[in-house]
Amino acid sequence: MPRPVEPEAALGAGFVHTFLPGRVVFGAGALDRVATEVEALGVRRVLVIATNSARAAADVVEAQLGDLFAGRIDGVAQHVPTEVAEDARAKAREAGADAVVAIGGGSAIGLAKAIALTTAAPPASEAVDGRAVVVVAVPTTYAGSEMTPVWGETTDGRKSTGTDVRVLPRVVVYDSVLSRELPLKVTAASVANAIAHCVEAVWTPKADPITELTAVEGLRALSNGMRDVLRAPGDLDARSNLLYGACLAGSALATAGTGLHHKLCHLLGGTYNLPHAETHAAVLPQVARVNASSVPQAKTRLEAALGTTDLADGLFDLFQAAGVPTSLRELGLTEAQVAEATAAFKPTDNPIPVTEDLVREILTRAWSGTRP
Distance CA 80, CA 115 (A): 11
Q: Quick one: pLDDT at residue 69?
A: 97
Distance CA 121, CA 8 (A): 43
- Band of residue 2 on the pLDDT scale cut at 50, 70, 90: very low
- Band of residue 127 on the pLDDT scale cut at 50, 70, 90: very low
More confident residue, 247 or 145: 247
More confident residue, 294 or 9: 294
More confident residue, 282 or 22: 282
Of 113-122, 193-202, 336-345, 358-367, where does mean pLDDT reach its minimum?
113-122
The 10 Å CB-count burial string (b at 16+, else e) for 249-264 is bbbbbbbbbbbbbbbb
More confident residue, 203 or 156: 203
Give the residue-averaged pLDDT of 167-180: 96
Q: Quick one: pLDDT at residue 75?
A: 77
- Band of residue 113 on the pLDDT scale cut at 50, 70, 90: very high
Q: Quick one: pLDDT at residue 77?
A: 84
Q: Is 333 helix (H, G, I), strand (E, B) or coil?
A: coil
Q: Does residue 7 carry a pLDDT above 60?
A: no
Of 111-120, 125-134, 224-233, where does mean pLDDT reach its minimum?
125-134
Distance CA 206, CA 123 (A): 37
Give the residue-averaged pLDDT of 171-187: 95
Of 35-44, 74-83, 310-319, where does mean pLDDT reach its minimum?
74-83
Q: Which residues pair with 24 in a beta bridge?
A: 172
Distance CA 7, CA 295 (A): 10
Q: Does residue 92 carry a pLDDT above 90?
A: yes
Q: What is the mean pLDDT of the chain?
A: 91
State percent of the chain over pLDDT 90.
78
pLDDT tens for 212-234 read 999 999 999 999 999 999 999 99
What single string gives the DSSP state of each residue in 28-84?
TTGGGGHHHHHHHTT-S-EEEEE-GGGHHHHHHHHHHHGGGEEEEEE---TT-BHHH
Alpha helix (H) residue ranges in the chain = 34-40, 55-65, 82-95, 106-118, 184-200, 209-231, 236-256, 260-272, 276-291, 296-306, 311-321, 335-344, 356-368
